[in-house]
Amino acid sequence: MSNENAQTSGEPKMVPESDLIAAKKGLEKQLEEVQSASSKTIADLRTEKDKTYQDLLVERTAKGQLESKVKELEPFKTQAADLLNLFNTGVTNYNSLEEKMLTLRKDLITTKYGVGSDKLEGKKLADLDNLEDALKVAGVTAGGRNYDMGGGTGGSAAGTPFAHELDELKEAKAARGIKE
């Protein structure tokens, strides 16, 4: 080996210029690729940032509109609460009046028709209406049934409360072809 080609430790190694130029071109190409990828990534991030910012602006606008609508409707909230209180008061008054009316109707039926108050326990107004109608049709009064209206003939006299209903029943049977 010759001394020219041999290197001693500590001396820089000589590299041919062509190798340096090739390495430089390779590094420049890598640098371009990295810069291109970075530029694309930066552009994508900016686009995403702009889109997100636009979405934020839209959301802020919508929030502002909703807040103004809430402020606009605030008086109605108070009014609705007042109406609810008024409704609840009305329901309470209705229930109280219905209870009073039920008591008065029971007292009326007990007094007018002689029905025991124990038999009217648990009845509703509709039940009392039906009962009173039935008592009227049957001709019941406070003293019990009135048998003196028809003259005591034993049959259905024209003056009894049942005469009209009995005649209607006979006509309905005849119309259907039912014989007695």
> Global pTM?
0.41
- What are the structural domain ranges in the chain? 19-114
Q: What are phi and psi of 147, to 5 degrees?
A: -90, -5
Residue 57 reports pLDDT greater than 90: yes
pLDDT digits (tens, 9 = 90+) for 113-154: 888 888 889 999 899 889 888 888 888 776 554 455 554 455
Alpha helix (H) ranges present in 114-180?
A: 125-138, 162-176
DSSP secondary structure string for all residues of 64-95: HHHHHHHHHHHHHHHHHHHHHHHHHHHHHHHH
Look at 22 and 177; give whichever has higher pLDDT.
22
